[in-house]
Structure 1
Amino acid sequence: MSGPPANPKRSRRRSGAVTLHDVARLAEVAPITASRALNTPDRVSPEVLQRVTDAVRRTGYVPNLLAGGLASTRSRLVAAVVPTIAGPVFLQTIQSLTAALEAQGYQLMLGQTGYVDSREDALLEAIIGRRPDGIVLTGIMHSAHGRQRLLAAGIPVVETWDLTPTPIDMLVGFSHVEVGRAVAAFLHGRGRRRLAVMAGDDERSARRHGAFRQAAVALGLPEPALVTVPAPTTLGSGRAALQQLLAADASVDAVFCSSDLLALGVLTEAQARGLAVPAQLAVMGFGDLEFAADLHPGLTTVRIDSHAIGRQAARFIVERAEGRPVAERVVDLGFSIVERGSA
C-alpha cells in the first residue's frame, strides 16, 4: 500500500487535473477501492469511506461522469454559465461565443445560475463531472469551493464581464469600478449636481454604484442617493425605483441605472410624470442594448463590446483545448460612454 504524496498539489501541476489515483494515494487505498467508495459507498468500511471523502475534499477532485473509454477523448463541448437568460445583457456575448466556437467545430452548453453563489457551485460541479473542453463564466468566481473545484479539474476556464488580479485561468472583460468613476465624471461634466443611482442587487452592479458614489463625493457633490432593486432588473423595477427616489428627494437631476432595461423604466416613469428628459432629469443606462439608440430621447449609456468578449473567450478556449500556448491570459476590452439625448 503506497503512502500519501508529500504534496498532493504537485501531481495536479504535473497532470493538469486531480485524478482518482491522487485521491487513492492520499487516502492510502487502492484506486479501485477509492472508486468503490465514491460509486458504491455501502461496499466499503466507514473508516475507508471517511478517508476517501477527506481526500476528495482536500484535493477538490470531481468524479469524471464520462465512461472510462471516452474520458481520454475530447468532448468538443464548451459550457457557458450565465446568471440569467431573462434579460438581454449577456445574449450578445453568448451569440458570439456560440458562433465562434461552432466555426471551430465546438458546441456550446448553456447553464443559468441566478445570482446565488451556491447555485453556481452546484451547476459547476455537474459541468465539471462531464469534462467539457472549456468553461466560460460570467463574472469572476468568488466562491472558494468553486475555485478549488475548477483548479482541480484542469479544464480551461475563461472568466468574462469583469476584471480581477487573480483570475482562475484566463479572463476577458472590463473594470466595473472604472465604469462607475467614468459615469460620475461624465455627469459632473454635464453640470449635474444632484446624482442618484438605481441598481440591481448583484455584486458587479454593487461595485459600479459604489465607485460611482465615491467618485461623486470626490468631485465635491453630495453623496448620490441609492435605490436597489432585485436582479435581474426590469422595466417595471425601473419605474418603481424612480417613484421611490422622487418620493425621498425630488431635487435629483441625474440618474445612473445599472442596466438599460432599468433606464427604460425610469424614462417611462419620467414621461408618465411629465418630467422633461434631460432638462429636468438626465438618465444613463449600462449595456447599450439594441433599443437604446431608438428611444426618444435616445438613451445615453455605457457600451460594452459584448460580441468581442464572446469571440475572445472562444479563442482562449480553442487555443488551450488544442494545446496551443496562450501568451496573454487577461484581456481588458474597456468600455465607452455613448452620449445620446437622455443625458
Structure 2
Amino acid sequence: MGKSKWVTMKDVADLASVGTITVSRVLRTPEKVSEAKRNRVQKAIEQLGYVPDNTAGALSSNKSRVFGAIVSTVNDSVFAQTLDGLSSTLRAAGYELLLTSTNYDPTVEEDALRALLARRPDGIVLTSTSHSSGVKNLLKSVNIPIVEIWQLPSQPLDIAVGFSNFQAGYDMAHHLIGKGKKNIAFIGGNEPGNDRGRRRRDGYIAALADAKLPPIIWPSEDQDLPSGIELGAAVFEGCLKVNPAINAVMCVSDQVAVGVLCEARRRGVEVPAGLSVSGFGGFELAMSSGFDLTTIEIPGREIGVASAKALLDPEAARAKKVIDVGYTLIERGTT
C-alpha cells in the first residue's frame, strides 16, 4: 500500500504513546488531559505536521474534489488570468478551487496553508517559492501534489510552473543598456514576500554588472511605501534625488511603471528622450492608460492551465519537474 495522503490522528497517537481519544481531547478539551500527555501530543503534532480534518465527512474515494491555492495578491490582472485558467480547467474536470491571499506577507502563508489543509484538498498551488520551515514541514507531511507557480526555483518542493524572473529582469536591463542608457534605476520588489520581484531585481543587477554600470535601486528594503501605481509616483522624485542623472527606470511591474509615467508626464519629462520606462507583466492597465509601455509579457492564463493539468496528472508533471512557459519582451514607445 502507498503512503496515506494525510498524517492521521492515529499517527499522532502512536508517536505520543497515547490513544486516539487522548489526542482528540487535547485538540478539543485540553484542560481534561494531564500536562505530560498534552505536551507529548503537542510535540507529536508539531513533529508530524498534523492538521485536524475539518471536512464534514470522508469520501470513500479519499478525494475531496477540491484544490487549494495561496496567492500573493488578487490585485494584479495577470494573476487574475492565472486564476481564471486554473479554476476553469479544474472545474471542467469536476473540481473546485479554494483561494486565499497573503498580500505579500510571508507570515500569513503558514496560517493560510493550515486552513486549506484542514479542508483536505487534493493538491495545493503556491505563488511564493520562498517558504518558512513551518510551511515546508506542513507540505512534507502530506502526500498531495504541490505546484509552485510564477517562478522556477532551483529546487521545487514538488512541481514548478512558470518562467525565470531573473532572466526576464536581465533581458529587460540589457534592452535598456542597448538603448544607450547608463543610469538605470530599478523600482519596486522590496516587499518581504515578493520573491519574484527580488529575482527580477537580481537579474537587473547582474546585467548592469556585466555592463560595468552601477545599480540604482529604490526604494530600499526598510522603507514602508505604497505599492502599484502609487509606488511609481511616490518614488520617482526619490530616484532623482539619489541620482539626478537617471535616464531610465526599470519597474518591477506595469502598475509601478504607469505610476512613474504619470508623474513624469506631470513634471513635463519627455519619454523616452528624457526618460525611458519599462514595466513587467503585460497588464491591460498599461495599454488602457494610454501609455505605449515596453514590458515583459507573461502568459498568465497559460500558467494557470498548466498548473491545473499538473494537479490533475501529477505523475506526468513530476516527470518534467519544471514547466517553463517562457515570456516575451515587447518593445514599445516608452524605450
Fold agreement, TM-score > 0.5: yes
Greater shift in the superposed pair: 146-155 or 71-80? 71-80
Q: Distance in 1 between matches of 2:316 and 2:174?
A: 42
Q: Residues 292 and 86 (structure 1 numbering): CA distance in 2 closer, same or farther, change over 3 Å?
A: closer
Q: Distance in 2 between matches of 1:23 and 1:276?
A: 66
Q: 2:333 aligns with which of 319, 325, 341?
A: 341
Alignment match, 1:101: 90
Alignment match, 1:87: 76
Q: Distance in 2 between matches of 1:206 and 1:319?
A: 31
Q: Read off the aligned partner of 2:116 and give its amino acid letter.
A: I
Once the two structures are TM-superposed, the CA of residue 210 in structure 1 deviates from its matched residue by 2.7
Q: Distance in 2 between matches of 1:296 and 1:278?
A: 15
Indicate conservation of the 8 Å contact 1:200/1:230, yes or no: no
Once the two structures are TM-superposed, the CA of residue 222 in structure 1 deviates from its matched residue by 2.6
Does residue 236 of structure 2 align to residue 236 of structure 1? no
Does residue 201 of structure 2 align to residue 201 of structure 1? no
Secondary structure of the 1:15 match is coil
Indicate conservation of the 8 Å contact 1:128/1:150, yes or no: no
- Measured against aligned partners, the alpha-carbon deviations of 1:47-81 in whole angstroms (never above 9, x if no partner) come to 11111111111111111112454485422112111
- Measured against aligned partners, the alpha-carbon deviations of 1:285-340 in whole angstroms (never above 9, x if no partner) come to 010101334554410001111111100111011124xx877422321222221111
Q: Read off the aligned partner of 1:263 and give its amino acid letter.
A: A
Q: Distance in 2 between matches of 1:243 and 1:89?
A: 28
Q: Distance in 2 between matches of 1:231 and 1:207?
A: 20
Q: Distance in 1 between matches of 2:183 and 2:28?
A: 62
Does residue 19 of structure 2 align to residue 30 of structure 1? yes
Q: Distance in 1 between matches of 2:328 and 2:318?
A: 27
Alignment match, 1:328: 320
Alignment match, 2:281: 287
Residue identity over aligned pairs, in percent, reads 39
Q: Residues 222 and 230 (structure 1 numbering): CA distance in 2 closer, same or farther, change over 3 Å?
A: same
Alignment match, 1:148: 137
**Structure 2 matches for 1:183-332, cutoff 5 A?**
183-202=172-191, 203-228=195-220, 233-320=227-314, 326-332=318-324
Indicate conservation of the 8 Å contact 1:298/1:341, yes or no: yes
Alignment match, 2:169: 180
Q: Distance in 2 between matches of 1:308 and 1:270?
A: 34
Does residue 58 of structure 2 align to residue 66 of structure 1? no
Q: Read off the aligned partner of 2:211 and give its amino acid letter.
A: L
Q: Residues 330 and 125 (structure 1 numbering): CA distance in 2 closer, same or farther, change over 3 Å?
A: same
Greater shift in the superposed pair: 90-99 or 243-252? 243-252
Q: Distance in 1 between matches of 2:74 and 2:63?
A: 28
Secondary structure of the 1:286 match is coil
Q: Distance in 2 between matches of 1:73 and 1:16?
A: 9
- Measured against aligned partners, the alpha-carbon deviations of 1:212-251 in whole angstroms (never above 9, x if no partner) come to 1232022122333433575872212211111211233221
